Amino acid sequence: MNKEPISEEEIFKELDFYQSQDCKYSDGRILGSMCTQAHPIAQKAFIQFLESNLGDPGLFKGTKAIEDKVLKMIGSFLSIENPVGHIVTGGTEANIMAIRAARNIARDEKGISQGEIIVPQSAHFSFKKASDILNLKLREIVLDDSYQLDASFVEDEINENTVAIVGVAGTTELGMIDPIEELSNIALENNIHLHVDAAFGGFSIPFLKEIGYGLPEFDFSLKGVKSITVDPHKMGLAPIPAGGILFRNEEYLDSISVNSPYLTIKHQSTIVGTRMGATSAATFAVMKYLGKDGYARLAKESLDNAIFLAESVKQLGYELVVEPKLNIVAFNHPKLETDDLAQLIEKRDWKVSCSSCPKAIRVILMNHIKREHIVELISDLKDISESI
């Protein structure tokens, strides 16, 4: 480190140099990210609340009220009037908190000491972290031929040590929606915590349903659902890192609270201690600004873009993995290995990502990918297909 101070001008020259090496969402060439450019109004609120620390909410009562308001607003489209939870550091922290609550309650109420959780093969890898950190055995359920979770397979894996079942509403790789209603019934019959991971789908499915898309139920209207992860920093257009965890009632949060003696509050239940208030303020701003109509419009636009891309790649001779349910399109070329195809697309300056189950090119139609980018992508895919 430098001993003498360096001028602001010099510092920013250097920072700009490094930043110029980053990809930018606004270029429209990042195809494989579930995050996107934060809405301008969210950026503005974020900066205004930079110093607020929700780890010590007694000092930031106003920001705490904002966080509560955000949870209530999210609850209003997830069929719960008074959710209990937090705006946290992304979907991973949210999922770990949910599984921790399930484990602690099962331990205290049923005396389970060697717990297990049941997750679909399509579940996000954050559940591997959760199982490792919380010392729970992970039982993975294989998907059926259409990459869908079969609820009866879940039933077969339940035993006396099961502390939680996880269902996903909008899988990370393919945007599939698990049969949450069936999982809810199974969870209720067996008195097991059902956690729904809607990190990706939580800010789109409810709005698509509202404007007439026939998507399945996945929220607190299903009695077995005890917690839901929903990430403002994905389809909610909030800045990174904004995750959300909502519980059905206070009992769950209590089960993961520890004493926090030197703070202005007595208990803390998040994994991290000092934590941003800025993300809550930013999420508040963008949610108010867009309203349900705004999110419905964005979700529809993204889904329309996905359907447009899916139809186009099919016409070019590519094979879709599944018809898109949400704004993710996964495909392969019948004559190419996925990795080789990925390389050819990368060569044309696109940032691609591949799914693992099955192996495929995976394009997430986030808000930063506009029609003109898709048209350009299709033209490149046409060239690639014609050159082999």
Ligand X SMILES: *Cc1c(COP(=O)(O)O)cnc(C)c1O
Q: Which residues bind ligand X (CB under 6 A)?
A: 34, 90-92, 95, 124, 126, 168, 172, 197, 199-200, 231, 243
Beta carbons within 10 angstroms of residue 281's beta carbon: 25
Cβ closest to ligand X, residue 96 vs residue 344: 96
Q: Which helix (H) or strand (E) holds 7?
A: none
Residues in a beta bridge with 117:
138, 164
Within 13 A of 266's CA, how many CA atoms are on the CB side?
1
C-beta closer to ligand X: residue 34 or 84: 34
* SS3 call for 237: coil
Query: Is residue 38 classed as helix, strand or coil in its secondary structure?
Result: coil
Question: Would you say 97 or 384 has its CB closer to ligand X?
Answer: 97
With respect to ligand X, which residue has the nearer C-beta, 101 or 384?
Answer: 101
Which C-beta is closer to ligand X: that of 299 or that of 341?
299
Q: How far is CA 16 from the centre of its chain?
A: 30
**Token pair 């956690």: residue:** 195
**Residue 90 beta carbon to ligand X: minimum distance, rounded to whole angstroms:** 3
Number of Cβ within 10 Å of residue 116's Cβ equals: 20
3-state secondary structure of 110: helix
**Two structure tokens written together for 171:** 């899988």
**Nearest residue (beta carbon) to ligand X:** 91
DSSP 128-180: HHHHHHTT-EEEEEPP-TTS---HHHHHHH--TTEEEEEEEBS-TTT--B--H
The whole-angstrom separation of Cα 178 and Cα 183 is 8
66 Cβ partners below 8 Å, 6+ apart?
277, 280, 281, 284
Write down the least CB distance from residue 241 to ligand X, Å. 7
- CB closer to ligand X, 200 vs 218: 200
